[in-house]
Amino acid sequence: MSNVTRDRLLFAAAIILAGIYLFPLYWMYITTIKSGSEMFATPPTFWPTDPQWQIFGNVWQGRNMGRYIWNSLVIACGAVSVIAVLGVGCAYVLARYRNIWVDIGLFLILMLQVLPASLMVTPIFVGFSQVGLLNYPRLAVILAIAAKSMPFFVVLVRATFMSVPQELEEAALVDGNSRVGAFFNIVLPLARNGILVSVILIFMQAFGEFVYSKSMIQAVELQPASVGLNSFMGPNTNEWNNIMAYAAIYVTPILAIFVLLQRRIVSGLTSGALK
Amino acid sequence: MKRFLSSMIDGRGFDIGLVSLPLAFLLTLSGLPLLYNIVMSFQEVDMFSLGSFWRPFVGLKNYRDLFAQPETWPILANTATFVIASIAGQFLVGFGLALFFWTNFPGASWLRGLFLVSWVMPGLVVGAIWNWILSGDFGVLNFILRETGLIGGNIFWRSDPDFSLWAVIIANIWLGTSFNMILLSVGLSAIPRDLYEASELDGANVWQRFWTITLPMMRASIGAIIALGLIFTLQQFDLFAAITSGGPNNASNVTQYWAWDLSFRQYDFAKGATISVIMIVFVMIASVVYVRSTRHEVRG
């Protein structure tokens, strides 16, 4: 067997594997455009006979999705800005030095990274209600998400800073730059790509966050899309095409960003988690 | 003052400033709640005392009450099943896929990356999709299983107490497999190729090479990935909320969902805090394992 045939065979097998693995996504999109009766047909159709394109507009209007997505965006952007502003500096210092204090700091951060949100939400909710933060529910959720996701961000960005050669910064210092100047003019631009990838990853997480929003935001007008999807799915629902349309509208931007930046996201992710 | 300022701009103060602010933020919003959680698990908390810090201390009463409840042990057992089955499934499927993509044909890395969409999607969306796929009468999974002759009648994944936990496990395996696979691929690509060339010259077959080279060389990554899997599985909440809500009758309930359910559905914050404390201890142990297995990396 020549190398070319072998490669082609393997590629075909890989496509089939990916097809099987990604079938749930296909099923979401295909269910979306099925009509009510076709959806419950036995045997199910794997290609819609009568695609219903207007369903996207109907669900967007009917479920008031604009508001939900807007809230998701507000929460995700807020959390990402808090994390980026605080986390970048922290990651920089943790990457630059190697001593016992840095080790302790890293250990603390890794420990805080693993606390499950659904277990931490009880004390956070009670504490926030005592200091009155629950009167600003979206801000409360932003702070909670920031605390939850910042350790992960610091670990990822620290890996980026580690790959910036320290000699460049030292050269800038010798040339008379201050530490602040060297940080903003030399180190930060060099680490820009890695930081951007980490920001995107954190954004996607925050955009889909559920536990904190569900627990702390009572007012429907302030709830993000994940909570909206949850309340759309009642226990005995049969509007699956509408629910899948909701899910598709919600998830497609994330999938688009991911597919476009796939290579960078994957390499950024792996460099932080273990290498 | 001037010295302080110049240190902030040009010296040690700059580093300390950069690090202390985020650490203070994290300690306030993660560390304090952690301690508060422990305090609450020793207190009597109800709707009326929710607003005050000084609640009556009840010692270990919450813990005793918790373990006196009939559903506690089944839920702990469910958690163990969920964790073990999810990690085993994610790891085995992920390892298989990683080995396959390791053969390195053109397009392999791009296709492999595509798998990760399952991991970047919001958990609620993954849950919604699987909820529909697993539905009893019209679910496509039942259809496929029936057509291939694996089952005779429909399985009511979400409402049958024997299957509801497995419904969530299936979804969770799907969700986590890609992440396992990507990390395992990184570990695989770090194995020096000449080891294989040497063993091939010595006449080792594929099977022997896998057991004597691949597995031993992967030991550190496998440890880290399983610890990471444990951490992620114990964090899994969205799938329960989206697929079974812990039902029917707690058949698919696990501690991380139960803790939330007690606090926010039954308003028993003290019990919720108590379970959280117990589970956080487990998570901490897992994370120590994880930190230890990535230690050489952490220290650079």
State residue B296's pLDDT score: 54
Which pLDDT does position B295 carry in this prediction? 60
Please report whether residue B44 resides in a domain: no
Q: Can you give the pLDDT at residue B77? A: 93
B164 contacts B244 by C-beta, under 8 angstroms: yes
Every domain of chain A with CATH number 1.10.3720.10 lies at: 66-273
Which residues of chain A from 209 to 268 reach within 8 Å of chain B, CB to CB?
A: 209-211, 214-215, 225-226, 229-230, 233, 235, 240, 243-244, 246-247, 250-251, 254-255, 258-259, 262-263, 265-266
pLDDT digits (tens, 9 = 90+) for A203-218: 999 999 999 999 999 8
pLDDT at A53: 86
Say yes or no for a CB contact (<8 Å) between B124 and A235: no
Whether B26 is in a domain gets the answer no
Interface test with B, best of A26, A39, A119, A217 (most B CBs within 10 A): A119
- Give the separation between CA B269 and CA A128, rounded to whole angstroms: 14
Q: Taking residues B76-92, what's their average pLDDT?
A: 94
> Which residue is listed with tokens 């688009």?
A256
Size of interface A-B (CB pairs under 8 A): 300
Nearest-Cα distance to chain A for B260, in Å, is 6
Q: Which region holds residue A115: left if phi is over 0, alpha if psi is between -120 and 50, else beta?
A: beta
Lowest mean pLDDT among A38-52, A186-200, B95-109, B244-258: A38-52
Q: What is the Rg, in whole angstroms, of the alpha carbon atoms belonging to chain A?
A: 23
The total number of structural domains that make up chain B? 1
Instruction: Report the residue from B14, B286, B300 with minimal CB separation from A114.
Output: B286
Q: Please check whether residue B178 lies inside any domain of the structure.
A: yes
Percent of chain B, pLDDT > 70?
A: 94
d(CA A150, CA A128): 19
Q: What is the pLDDT of residue B10?
A: 66
Beta bridge partners of B43: B57
Is B50 inside any structural domain?
no
Do the chains contact at A118 and B14, CB–CB below 8 Å? no
A83/chain B closest Cα distance in angstroms: 9
Q: How far is CA B130 from CA A194, A224, B124, B125, B142, in A?
A: 33, 21, 10, 9, 12
The CATH number that applies at residue B279 is 1.10.3720.10
Q: Which residues of chain A have pLDDT under 50?
A: 274-275
Q: Do A108 and B34 touch (CB under 8 A)?
A: no
**Residue B65: closest CA among B47, B45, B50, B82:** B45
Task: Evaluate whether residue B75 is within a structural domain.
Answer: yes
Q: How many Cα atoms sit within 13 Å of B49 on the Cβ side?
A: 13
Residue A63, pLDDT score: 85
Q: Do B11 and A179 touch (CB under 8 A)?
A: yes
* Dihedral pair phi/psi, residue A32, rounded to 5°: -55, -45
Max Cα–Cα distance, chain B, nearest Å:
82
Total Cβ atoms within 10 A of residue B106:
11
Of B97, B123, B290, the CB nearest to A17: B97
Whether the CB of A92 is below 8 Å from some CB of chain B: the reply is yes
Contact yes or no for B23 and A97 at CB 8 A: no
- Residue B300: the pLDDT is 34
Distance CA B298, CA A272 (A): 10
CB–CB of A200/A265 below 8 Å? yes
Confidence class of residue B298 from pLDDT cuts 50, 70 and 90?
very low
Nearest chain A residue to B178 by CA distance is A21
Q: What are phi and psi of B100, to 5 degrees?
A: -65, -50
38-57 of A, contacting B, C-beta below 8 A = 39-40, 42-44
Residue with tokens 């060099």: A190
> Nearest CA of chain B to the CA of A63: how many Å?
16
Residue from A121, A21, A213, A82 nearest B235 by CA: A121
Q: Give per-residue pLDDT as tens, B183-223.
A: 888 888 888 888 888 888 888 888 888 888 888 888 878 88
In angstroms, the separation between the Cα of residue A272 and the nearest Cα of chain B is 10
Rounded mean pLDDT of chain A? 87
Angle between helix A100-113 and helix B12-26 axes, rounded to 10 deg? 20
Q: How close is the nearest chain A Cα to the Cα of B182, in Å?
A: 7
Q: Which residues of A touch B23 (CB under 8 A)?
A: 90, 105, 108
Distance between CA atoms of residues A24 and A20, nearest Å? 8
With H, G, I as helix, E, B as strand and everything else as coil, classify residue B43: strand
Q: Identify the bridge partners of residue B57 per DSSP, sorted by sequence position.
A: B43
Residue with tokens 């919003």: B29
Chain A residues 153-212 with a CB less than 8 Å from chain B: 154, 162, 178-180, 183, 201, 204, 207-211
Q: Is domain A66-273 given the CATH code 1.20.140.10 in the classification? A: no
Confidence grade of residue B294 (pLDDT, cut at 50, 70, 90): low
Chain B residue numbers with beta carbons less than 8 Å from the beta carbon of A240 are: 132, 135
Contacting residues for B53 by C-beta, under 8 A, at least 6 apart: A130
Between the alpha carbon of residue B299 and those of residues A47, A87, A249, B110, the distances in Å are 53, 19, 43, 31
Domain assignment present for B55: no
Whether A258 sits inside 8 A of B105 (CB atoms) is no
Query: Looking at this protein, which amino acid is placed at residue A128?
Result: F
> d(Cα B267, Cα B10) in Å, to the nearest integer?
52
Residue A163's identity, in one-letter code, is S
**pLDDT band at B125; cut points 50, 70, 90:** very high
Can you tell me the ipTM of this complex? Answer: 0.89
Domain, as residue range, for B127:
60-298
- Closest CB from B30, B101, B128 relative to A115: B30
Length of chain A, in residues: 275
Asked if residue B179 is part of any domain, the answer here is yes
A84, A195 Cβ separation under 8 angstroms:
yes
Per-residue pLDDT tens for B1-49? 666 767 766 677 888 888 888 889 998 888 899 898 888 888 887 777 7
Specify if B2 maps to a domain: no
